[in-house]
Copies of this chain bind each other. A is one copy, B any other.
Amino acid sequence: MSRPAQRAKTAARSGKTRPAEVQASALRQTRREHANETAEDYAEAIAELTAATGEARATDLARRLGVSHVTVIRTVARLQRNGLVTTRPYRSIFLTEKGTRLAEASRQRHELVVEMLRALGVPEAVAQSDAEGIEHHVSPETLATFQRFLHRQAGTPQK
């Protein structure tokens, strides 16, 4: 089996594919985003539960997020370390100022992504479901573009 060895590297970099470093940093970015996904999902859920029932309890969160209550408790502990929520043993969970801001931003982004998908013709249910995964990876620039697009759509009700 022949091995171009060290030369291959050079060939790869001059190749027609996107430069390795560019992709690498995009992927690093994606991984970094992933670290925030959980926090955003929790913040959103806590905000919704609080709005709906006046408080967010671990068990309700667990049901809404589709995980066990143990996972909720441990994750909430981490969110508390990071200053997003406050909670006391055997008591409800509340968002801090910072957590509230995160929840609000997430909600808005979620809505915008859903509207965007809907505007393109994606069925409501699918839009909701896909948005759950997509929303965490939409950059501010892209979000702004979505907003412009939706605005334009609203202005010119074509078809």
Please state if A53 and B12 are interface contacts (CB–CB under 8 Å): yes
A132's partner among B3, B29, B120 (CB-CB below 8 A) is B29
Please state if B126 and A142 are interface contacts (CB–CB under 8 Å): yes
Give the distance in Å from the alpha carbon of A64 to the alpha carbon of B15 in the complex: 13
A64's partner among B20, B34, B57 (CB-CB below 8 A) is B20
Which secondary structure dominates chain A's binding surface?
helix
Instruction: Evaluate whether A52 and B16 lie within 8 angstroms (CB atoms) in the complex, with A27-B66, A130-B139, A134-B137 already known.
Output: yes
Instruction: Evaluate whether A9 and B60 lie within 8 angstroms (CB atoms) in the complex, with A126-B139, A126-B142, A145-B121 already known.
Output: yes
Number of interface residues of A (CB under 8 A): 66
Q: For residue A104, which residues in chain B have a CB less than 8 angstroms away from its CB?
A: none
Q: For residue A51, which residues in chain B have a CB less than 8 angstroms away from its CB?
A: 17
The residue of chain B having its C-beta at the shortest distance from the C-beta of A32 within the complex is B133
Please state if A120 and B149 are interface contacts (CB–CB under 8 Å): yes
Q: A154 within 8 Å of B by Cβ? A: no
